[in-house]
Amino acid sequence: MPQLAQRMGRAKPSAIMMVAEKAKQLKAEGRDIISFSIGVPNFLPGDHVYAAVREALATDSGQYGSNRGDPAVLDAFLRHVEPLGLTGYGRENVVVNVGAKHSLYSLAEALLDEGDEIVFPTPYWTSYLDIADIVGAKVTTLPCPPEQDYKLTPAQLDAALQSKPRVFLFNNPSNPTGMVYSREEIEALADVLVKYPDTWVITDDIYNRMVFDGLGYHNFVHARPELRERVVFADSLSKTYGMPGWRVGFLLGPAEVIKAVVTLNSNAITSVPEIVNAAAVAALSGPQDVPNAKCVEFQDKRDQVMAVLESIPGVVCPRPQGAFYVFPDISCAFGKSHGAMRIENDIDFCNALLEAKGVACVPGSAFGEPRALRISYTCPTAQLAPGMERIREFFAELT
C-alpha cells in the first residue's frame, strides 16, 4: 500500500470527539448518560434565519459563489463587529470560511512555514496544537495554571515574544476555561504586543457575545489601534447563533493576510453555499434575541455549576465569566479510588466518572492541563442539576 504523508503521523483525532463517542455508545447500550463533554449549543437560530433560507431556496442559482464570501455577508459581518470596537474595516479585510476551525487551519497554512514558531497559552483549545502539528510548526505553550486564573500575564507574553515567533495565538473568552480578559488585562497584553512587530496575532474570539456579569468583551485592536496591521480576529456563527452545523466562520484582519486565505479558499472550498450565505446574513443582521437570551441562560447555568463545585472540598475552580465551560482543578482526587477504580490522573477520573455515574466530561490533558476537567454546560437545563449532583456524589464516595 502507498504511504500516507508524513504530516499525518502527527495528526490526531479530536480527544473531545472520542469522549463524546464513548458517551454515545454507552447511551446506545441503554445507560443513563448525561453529557457535559462536547461544546455544542443546545439551541437553534431564530425563525427569521429559516425564513431567509426558504426565500434563498426559491431563487437559488445553484452556482459557485465568491472565494471571499458573498458581499452581503461581508457587509453584514462588518456591521456586526462595529459594536466590538472593530471599526474602519472594509470588504478587503473579511473572508467567510467553513467555520472557525477552517479559518484557523487556513491561517496556519497562510502564516506558518514548517519549523516556524507559534506561541499560545495553556489551557488551549485542542485543535490549536493539532493544526500547528499538521503544518509542521514549532509549538511553544505558555502555562497559565488555575493559580493565575488560567490567564496569560504580560510578563509571560513578553518573555515568549523575545524569540520573535511568527504567530501568537490567543483565545478570549476561553474554551476550555471560560475565562474572559478584562479591559485592563487586554490593554496590558496589547502594550506588550506593540513591542514585537515581527509577530502576527491571531485572536480566536468566537465566544465574544457570551460574556457574563456585565464584564464586556475587549480586544487588542480596539485597545491599541496600531495593532490592526498584525491582528487577525476570528469569529463564527456556531456558538453565538446555535448554528455549528451550518459551518460559517469569519476572519477580519489585514488585507494581505485575508487575501492569502481567499487564495486558499479558491483552491480548497471555492465558496460557502448560497443558502448558507443567506442564513448568515439573517443571523448577523436580524433580531438578536436568541443569542441575547442564551447568554443570560448560560450565566445562570454557570452559577448553578459553580455553586456545586464550590461545595466540593479540595476542588479549585476559577470562576468563568463567559462561553459555556468550567474547568475545575480536580487533582485532589488523584491517588484516591472510586470503588475498585483507582484514579491516578484526569483520564482515570473521567473514565471512572463515566463508568460509575454516567457523566461524560473531557479530561484536562486534552487542553494541555492534566490537573483539570472540562465541563460543558450546554446540556438541556433539566439535566444540569442531576449531572452536577452525580459529580458531587462521586467526589464524596472517593476513598
CA–CA separation, 373 and 76 (whole Å): 37
- By C-beta, is 43 or 334 nearer to ligand PMP? 43
Residues contributing to the site for ligand PMP (CB under 6 A):
39, 99-101, 125, 171, 175, 204, 206, 236, 238, 244, 249
CA–CA separation, 327 and 339 (whole Å): 25
Q: How near is the Cβ of 249 to ligand PMP at its closest, in Å?
A: 4
Closest CA to 138 of 162, 108, 105: 108
Beta bridge partners of 169: 202
- By C-beta, is 109 or 348 nearer to ligand PMP? 109
Q: How near is the Cβ of 233 to ligand PMP at its closest, in Å?
A: 12
Q: How near is the Cβ of 100 to ligand PMP at its closest, in Å?
A: 3
Cα–Cα distances in angstroms (integers) from residue 241 to residues 115, 161, 286, 320, 343, in the given order: 37, 35, 11, 20, 38
- By C-beta, is 248 or 388 nearer to ligand PMP? 248
Q: How near is the Cβ of 251 to ligand PMP at its closest, in Å?
A: 11
Q: How near is the Cβ of 174 to ligand PMP at its closest, in Å?
A: 7
Residue bearing cell 436568541: 290
Q: Please count the CA atoms within 13 angstroms of the CA of 175 that sit on its side-chain side.
A: 23
- By C-beta, is 145 or 244 nearer to ligand PMP? 244
E-strand stretches of the chain? 34-35, 94-97, 117-122, 138-143, 167-171, 200-204, 231-236, 249-252, 325-326, 336-338, 341-343, 359-360, 362-363, 373-376
Q: How far apart are the first and last CA of the chain?
A: 51
* Helix or strand holding residue 66 (H, E): none
Q: How near is the Cβ of 124 to ligand PMP at its closest, in Å?
A: 9
User: Residue 120, class by beta-carbon neighbours within 10 Å (0-12 exposed, 13-18 middle, 19+ buried)?
Assistant: buried
User: Residue 300, class by beta-carbon neighbours within 10 Å (0-12 exposed, 13-18 middle, 19+ buried)?
Assistant: middle
- By C-beta, is 125 or 150 nearer to ligand PMP? 125
Neighbour count for residue 371 (Cβ, 10 Å)? 18
- By C-beta, is 117 or 204 nearer to ligand PMP? 204
Q: How near is the Cβ of 37 to ligand PMP at its closest, in Å?
A: 12
Task: Extract the C-alpha cell encoding 191.
Answer: 502594550
- By C-beta, is 249 or 291 nearer to ligand PMP? 249
Q: How near is the Cβ of 50 to ligand PMP at its closest, in Å?
A: 19
- By C-beta, is 231 or 315 nearer to ligand PMP? 231
Q: How near is the Cβ of 212 to ligand PMP at its closest, in Å?
A: 17
Residue nearest to ligand PMP as judged by C-beta position? 99
Task: Extract the C-alpha cell encoding 83.
Answer: 459594536
- By C-beta, is 102 or 357 nearer to ligand PMP? 102
CA–CA separation, 183 and 195 (whole Å): 19
At CA 105, angle to CA 36 and CA 103, rounded to 5? 80
